[in-house]
Structure 1
């Protein structure tokens, strides 16, 4: 199959390139805009309690306002607010309300919003829309900050804004142009490294141009699929898509170019050399892409819509990259021929690659020692995983100098920490009848008696009296672990048990939402990861025609995953003293280290099998495979790791965690697993690694029967949807 693809695109390169240009233009012009959402509640299934709360709220209180932010006022000297100070706060709040900011319903304050110690006074900002994470509200928050500070210029007061919208504004501004930074760093790394390796400006620039074209096609297809399927892509998909496309795209192009250069050195004409390169490495690229695609599609099993929509989007992007790698890339380089390497002539000579050859000799000569040492490093790093703590409070990752962070600290000096985002408790009569006031009063007392609850407001009753809402202020910050444990444990237990006969009690709000997200993520870890592992093992089995190799390859991948998280825990929790790691970090490591990093293992083990199939002894096959594959793996790994390493420059600690974890995990996969551990284990197993089909026949020919190869081609085609 791959031989036919290689011959077709190299014989008709202009037709292939023209087809891609037409497809790109059509996709860009006809595809709809990629939809997005930042409302995480939309991503949870209906059986979660916070989703049920929202349904009740929409029925009972359809016109209820949505808290967007809180303005925190205090004296510059930290003292108690006088009557004149309180009057000044009221004047500022009234003045801001009169300005009519976009998508802001109201700004209110009053004596009841003065803290018990008299040092802090609040003004609540409510949104006119259900979603407080809109561009209009963000702009309004920025304007209010400027206007309020101007009004306080001649007073002894100062202010700061915190709450959901204000924190979101600070988070985006602290991250800066992260997407642009990632893109520029990726392009620079790709161009510089390819220029150093191939010494050709064309080879340095062409992959960037090709992947940019693929990016346009993939984005259009994802938007179209989202519109047809009614899906909503999370706002983080675009930045992740950049890294995925440039990461796997560069990997596959390098896999092909290194083999193309190798074929040219044998004296084969350029077009024939490229066709042979596609034939030799096409199966490896397809298998690597297949492993990544099924890993991403395993996210469809997630209970969180954010991951369910992310999975198909990333799978589509990898699928487009695969097709481009086997058609567009060969066509372009077949058309250019050896001119692609201009002005360098180094492609004609076998590079020395002294480090690669020394590593190859070490691995082949002492596989037991190398396996023990590399495996020992991974096990040692894995031990750090036992201290892992998931962090759900995004504000903890923000720099301490940001206004929303300092305002939250000021608020905590006068009020319970949960004042900015109260937890909402509902009681609903399932018969639709009014609930007696005395019953609601008793229910409120029981909720207020829960340890950790600071204050419970009087019940707000729906027009028909069948639903009552209690605003519950917790003693903890809304997103910290203690708040999540309280809401998901004692508070919900009390609400469910104390609900009067014939009614049901529900707990909602931002803290309850995070608690449900935590439960969903923990459930997903136990379902998605095993499913992806099984799917990747099937891909490896098809590629290698073996039932042995996939087991130790997946064991190595699993060890690399745990080692990566363990090292991240040690650095950020133990050394830097962070409270925990981003709760989505294991998923990010899964996406970029396990899924994409498996490419390097596949490239290495495919070359090991190829050399063994030529009649080489296990040690000789390992020596040649490592010597030839290490430069490709090293280059691809450094580019992808460097892309994520840029995130270490961000001020946001969660972005730093992601940057370190993924870049370190990629380097670990490339240089420890793919180059050392996997070939060492394969050497130790010898021909047993390829059971039930021997990698070499007695006469040194390929041991795979023609039928086996045909079955592999058919199976791979089915898996990839061809």
Structure 2
């Protein structure tokens, strides 16, 4: 199959390239724009309590929106307490800017409804003053088209305070959504520039070729445009929600995997040229030999990502198919577009280098392979031992569900303003929670007040009071403030246990109570993730094992290959825990991290294992003993895996420039995991175990024996 595909690509390159150009043009011109959301509630299914509360709120109060849209925090530039004159200036400013708040923000809420002219509340210590602005009717607080209200408000405040001693910062749901979008855009630009620069530099060092350094940039650029359009279509058709980080992750995955697959092909192609073949024959032969490994590796990555559709969280149900689509387009390009372009370029591909036909004199990988072939047991114990030690540290991993702290850099305006507000006023007041008390019959104000009083006594609750009743009196909204920051782990624990328990116990007979708000959403996120870990991990591992069994015609090899990548996952989580928790002093790591590590390290680590084992099987079919086959596999496949691993690890490391703790920890974890996969798992552990097992590794088949119908091929 891959031999035939290689012959088509080498004989009809213009047809393949023209087909890709037309395909790209159609997708780019017709596909919708890929839009992201920062509203975490959109990622949860409707059977969770926080979502049921939100739906009840929308049904009972369709014409009101009690959500805080923005909080304006005033303080003095010199840090001294606010004077009466300062508060008067702040109040005048809020009266001025409150006249035109844009489409997403409602009126500035007065301190006392009976005195609507007083709009700024001082903190008890007089360090800050603040004003609360609600969301306008129909506004969500997360839609990109609403963010103009934030920029306008900030600009108006800056102009109004010019020449005074006061400073103002805007936070709240809308401001945080805007800052998150801006941070993601900045991260995309920074990560994109760093990724491209890294790929160019590393490819220049490896091949000494101008064209090869540019090839991944151009090809992956085309693939990225196509993949983004297809993902946007899929999101529209299947009503999927894209997280604000999806474009950054897509960029890294496309350039990392795309460059890897191009390298897999180019190293084989260069080998064939060194054997004296002409360009077309070398292209066909390279794809015949590398195509199966590339396709199997890509298939493993695709099914691992597609396993995320089993997640109960929309964030993973969306990003899983998105990444799978991106990898599928990349894989198709690697098997068709890359060989066609290489055929057209011919020997000019390596310009200006003139040494591409010269076998490297360096014996590093040959020496490593020879040592492994002589002592596979030592390599297996050493590499497995290192991974096991790091894996033990993974048990101390502590998850945090504080997405607010993880999603934004510390110096953005909404974070700075929130810190000032929570430090000087009340942590819980920055994002009040609510409880929907509902029944088929009317609920009296006295019952609602008694319910609120009991909830107020729960651990972690600063206050609770009835806010409003529905028109028919069957539903009351009870607003409560927490002692802790609503996005903090402490607040999440309080809502998960005491608050929800108190609400359920205090609900009068015949009524139901549903706890809603940001903190309640995070509680449900935690429950959903626990469920997903027990479903997505095993399914992804099982499907990858099936692919490995089909590729290798063996039931034994897939087992130790998955043990290898499993150790790699645990070792990666252990090292990340060691660096950020034990050394860095972090209270915990974002709860999303393990599933990202698992999917990327398992899926992409399997790529390198497949490449190594496929080469080892090839050497065995040439009549080599298990030990000699392992030695030659490391010698020939080692440079490819090393180069691909360094490039992919480098692209993931560029995520650390994204500016928030999620991307920093994810960038470190994934880059370390890829290095482990390339230089420990596939370079040492996998070939060593295969050499030790010998022919048994291929049971019940005979994957290491030369097939009678296999043509004679020169040693590669």
1:563 to 571, 595, 609: 571
Instruction: Provide the C-alpha distance between the structure 1 equivalents of 2:92 and 2:640, rounded to a whole number of angstroms.
Output: 67
Asked if residue 675 in structure 1 is aligned to residue 683 in structure 2, the reply is: yes
2:631 to 623, 626, 630: 623
Question: In the TM superposition, what is the alpha-carbon distance from 1:108 to its structure 2 partner?
Answer: 2.4
Instruction: Provide the C-alpha distance between the structure 1 equivalents of 2:86 and 2:193, rounded to a whole number of angstroms.
Output: 50
TM-score by length of 2: 0.93
Question: In the TM superposition, what is the alpha-carbon distance from 1:358 to its structure 2 partner?
Answer: 1.7
2:141 and 2:177 in contact (8 A); partners too:
no
Instruction: Provide the C-alpha distance between the structure 2 equivalents of 1:353 and 1:108, rounded to a whole number of angstroms.
Output: 73
Question: In the TM superposition, what is the alpha-carbon distance from 1:193 to its structure 2 partner?
Answer: 1.9
What is the aligned partner in structure 2 of residue 717 from structure 1? none
What is the aligned partner in structure 2 of residue 40 from structure 1? 40
Instruction: Provide the C-alpha distance between the structure 1 equivalents of 2:579 and 2:330, rounded to a whole number of angstroms.
Output: 34
Asked if residue 245 in structure 1 is aligned to residue 246 in structure 2, the reply is: no
What is the aligned partner in structure 1 of residue 15 from structure 2? 15
What is the aligned partner in structure 1 of residue 316 from structure 2? 307
Instruction: Provide the C-alpha distance between the structure 2 equivalents of 1:414 and 1:648, rounded to a whole number of angstroms.
Output: 32
Instruction: Provide the C-alpha distance between the structure 2 equivalents of 1:256 and 1:616, rounded to a whole number of angstroms.
Output: 24
What is the aligned partner in structure 2 of residue 69 from structure 1? 70
Question: In the TM superposition, what is the alpha-carbon distance from 1:333 to its structure 2 partner?
Answer: 1.3
What is the aligned partner in structure 2 of residue 390 from structure 1? 399
Greater mean alpha carbon deviation, residues 452-461 or residues 537-546 = 452-461
1:294 and 1:535 in contact (8 A); partners too:
yes
Question: In the TM superposition, what is the alpha-carbon distance from 1:483 to its structure 2 partner?
Answer: 0.5
1:696 and 1:702 in contact (8 A); partners too:
no
Alpha-carbon deviations, 1:548-602, whole Å to 9, x = none? 0111110110111111111111111111111211221112212322212221111
Question: In the TM superposition, what is the alpha-carbon distance from 1:535 to its structure 2 partner?
Answer: 0.3
After the TM superposition, which residues 188-203 of structure 1 pair with which residues of structure 2 at under 5 Å, given as runs?
Answer: 188-203=197-212
Question: In the TM superposition, what is the alpha-carbon distance from 1:395 to its structure 2 partner?
Answer: 4.0
What is the aligned partner in structure 2 of residue 5 from structure 1? 5
Distance change >3 Å, CA 532–CA 108, structure 1 → 2: same
2:553 and 2:703 in contact (8 A); partners too:
no
Asked if residue 123 in structure 1 is aligned to residue 123 in structure 2, the reply is: no
* Number of aligned residues: 700
What is the aligned partner in structure 2 of residue 28 from structure 1? 28
2:384 to 375, 379, 390: 375
Instruction: Provide the C-alpha distance between the structure 1 equivalents of 2:517 and 2:548, rounded to a whole number of angstroms.
Output: 45
After the TM superposition, which residues 416-435 of structure 1 pair with which residues of structure 2 at under 5 Å, given as runs?
Answer: 416-429=426-439, 431=440, 433-435=441-443
Residue 457 of structure 1: SS of its match in structure 2? strand
Alpha-carbon deviations, 1:416-470, whole Å to 9, x = none? 31101011111011x2x32112211211111011021101123411111111011
Instruction: Provide the C-alpha distance between the structure 1 equivalents of 2:650 and 2:641, rounded to a whole number of angstroms.
Output: 14
2:191 and 2:658 in contact (8 A); partners too:
no
Question: In the TM superposition, what is the alpha-carbon distance from 1:336 to its structure 2 partner?
Answer: 2.5
Instruction: Provide the C-alpha distance between the structure 2 equivalents of 1:453 and 1:531, rounded to a whole number of angstroms.
Output: 40
2:466 and 2:478 in contact (8 A); partners too:
yes
Instruction: Provide the C-alpha distance between the structure 1 equivalents of 2:500 and 2:704, rounded to a whole number of angstroms.
Output: 64
What is the aligned partner in structure 2 of residue 209 from structure 1? 218
What is the aligned partner in structure 2 of residue 534 from structure 1? 542
1:90 and 1:110 in contact (8 A); partners too:
no
Question: In the TM superposition, what is the alpha-carbon distance from 1:331 to its structure 2 partner?
Answer: 1.5
Asked if residue 272 in structure 1 is aligned to residue 281 in structure 2, the reply is: yes
1:381 and 1:567 in contact (8 A); partners too:
yes
Residue 268 of structure 1: SS of its match in structure 2? coil
1:515 to 510, 523, 526: 523
1:291 to 292, 296, 300: 300
Instruction: Provide the C-alpha distance between the structure 1 equivalents of 2:86 and 2:463, rounded to a whole number of angstroms.
Output: 26
Question: In the TM superposition, what is the alpha-carbon distance from 1:223 to its structure 2 partner?
Answer: 2.2
What is the aligned partner in structure 1 of residue 351 from structure 2? 342
Residue 122 of structure 1: SS of its match in structure 2? strand
Greater mean alpha carbon deviation, residues 624-633 or residues 82-91 = 82-91
Question: In the TM superposition, what is the alpha-carbon distance from 1:45 to its structure 2 partner?
Answer: 1.0
Instruction: Provide the C-alpha distance between the structure 2 equivalents of 1:109 and 1:154, rounded to a whole number of angstroms.
Output: 26
Distance change >3 Å, CA 80–CA 326, structure 1 → 2: closer
What is the aligned partner in structure 1 of residue 117 from structure 2? none
What is the aligned partner in structure 2 of residue 488 from structure 1? 496
1:35 and 1:226 in contact (8 A); partners too:
no
What is the aligned partner in structure 2 of residue 232 from structure 1? 241
> What is the Cα-based RMSD across aligned positions, in Å?
2.2
Instruction: Provide the C-alpha distance between the structure 2 equivalents of 1:81 and 1:647, rounded to a whole number of angstroms.
Output: 41
Distance change >3 Å, CA 119–CA 202, structure 1 → 2: closer
Instruction: Provide the C-alpha distance between the structure 2 equivalents of 1:514 and 1:64, rounded to a whole number of angstroms.
Output: 24
> Structure 1 stretches of 5 or more lacking a match?
707-722
What is the aligned partner in structure 2 of residue 415 from structure 1? 425
What is the aligned partner in structure 2 of residue 597 from structure 1? 605
Greater mean alpha carbon deviation, residues 259-268 or residues 550-559 = 259-268
What is the aligned partner in structure 2 of residue 713 from structure 1? none
Instruction: Provide the C-alpha distance between the structure 2 equivalents of 1:237 and 1:396, rounded to a whole number of angstroms.
Output: 18
Question: In the TM superposition, what is the alpha-carbon distance from 1:634 to its structure 2 partner?
Answer: 1.0
Greater mean alpha carbon deviation, residues 617-626 or residues 39-48 = 39-48
> Structure 2 stretches of 5 or more lacking a match?
114-120, 711-716
